[in-house]
Amino acid sequence: MKFIHCADLHLDSVFSLSSHTQAKARRAELRSDFSALIEYAKKEECELFIISGDLFDDTSITKDTSEMLIREISSFPGCRFVITPGNHDPYHSGSPYALLDFPENVHIFKNENIEYVEYPEINTRVYGYAFTSETMIKSPLSGFCAKEDGMINILAAHADLLSPISPYCPMSENEIKSSKMDYVALGHVHKASELKYAGKTAYAYCGCIEGRGFDETGYKGAFLGEITKESLELKTVKISKKRFEIVKCDITGAVSFKDASKIISENCAPYGSDTALRIVLEGMTSDEFSVDENEVRQIVSKPYYVEIKDNTLPLLDAGYLEKDNTITGAFYRRLLPKIKSENEKERENAILALKYGLKAISGREID
């Protein structure tokens, strides 16, 4: 039996960092991701389409989204759609799940307890449950076991396997193992996982369908699964048209921007027009070194968006500061513990303070 496992589409996301027009375009892109996945499922002749929560970013949706959803699902009547509402789109009387008129081939779980829908014609039973508010403290899988009658048992679950005290339905490997499911199709964690096993039960996170920021890097998509009672194969299907990436450039030794430009352009070469790129500059540079966004843009011109984080330390020629007994040395030694801090934010602030401070003390201009 062939199926799609997707989750975390977050349709109608706000995209608050973009301009109004950009955000609107990105929302349209998210909708087209769903359409693309439906096209793919048709081509692969999938018999089941699982959406493991967070289909919507919020509990109200736009007309464009509801129309697209109904249109796309209706265009594929031969497939069975199963939806488990997540923490972003919990089921309640005012949610789109209750208000929209979904076609007959859609099953939406409505309760926090595990229930199931049976499809004898494909020898498959899909279990699921719903978030009914933004949090869910207890795992409904605790003590639950699937029927053992030869049917394929799949659990569609929006759950958090990463923390036992998560407010977003904490679930454990042990619960998955004891559930005797054939596959647990997980949603909630936006980074896709490998196919894993707890006992004989397979489980995986498919990740979100489109990255929405630098905390969601890489191409995104869904899984195409092929399952029997004895076997399961998962294939990653790339759906996102754009991606976020972070590239680090160690430019130790740079005195001027020209010294750094070769490394920057080499490291950024793999990223094309589909990429929003964050360039992180690292290493020890001369105190003279400074970076200008326009200069970077001239050598990294392909990505549709580029931002620069300058984490370099202006200490290339600062060995003397350790023992320097002027105010410069004292300033440096005072900042040093923070420059070496484990805390990233504290480190970044200390580096900035050092850069500004060294310039100020030597009477140079601060940009």
> Would you tell me which residues interact with Mn ion (CB under 5 A)?
8, 54
Residue 245 in tokens: 């990436």
To Mn ion, the closest distance from the beta carbon of 206 in angstroms equals 11
To Mn ion, the closest distance from the beta carbon of 158 in angstroms equals 8
Residue 12 main-chain phi, psi, to 5 deg: 70, 25
To Mn ion, the closest distance from the beta carbon of 216 in angstroms equals 10
Smaller CB separation from Mn ion, 96 or 357:
96
Smaller CB separation from Mn ion, 58 or 173:
58
Smaller CB separation from Mn ion, 29 or 307:
29
Residue 322 near residue 333, CB atoms below 8 Å:
yes
Report the residue closest to Mn ion, judged by CB: 54
Alpha carbons 187 and 168: distance in angstroms, whole number: 11
To Mn ion, the closest distance from the beta carbon of 273 in angstroms equals 27
Cα→Cα distances 275→38, 145, 162, 295, Å: 24, 44, 29, 19
Residue 360 in tokens: 């100020």
Q: Which of 106, 114, 120 is nearest to 152 (CA)?
A: 120
Alpha carbons 213 and 209: distance in angstroms, whole number: 13
Smaller CB separation from Mn ion, 8 or 182:
8
Smaller CB separation from Mn ion, 57 or 182:
57
Residue 170 near residue 182, CB atoms below 8 Å:
no
Strand segments, DSSP code E, in 65-189 are 80-83, 106-108, 115-119, 124-128, 152-158, 183-187
Smaller CB separation from Mn ion, 8 or 160:
8
To Mn ion, the closest distance from the beta carbon of 310 in angstroms equals 32
Give helix then strand counts, H and E, for the chain: 8, 15
To Mn ion, the closest distance from the beta carbon of 55 in angstroms equals 10
To Mn ion, the closest distance from the beta carbon of 100 in angstroms equals 20
Nearest-Å Rg of the Cα atoms of the chain is 26
Smaller CB separation from Mn ion, 80 or 188:
188
Strand segments, DSSP code E, in 147-211 are 152-158, 183-187, 196-198, 201-205
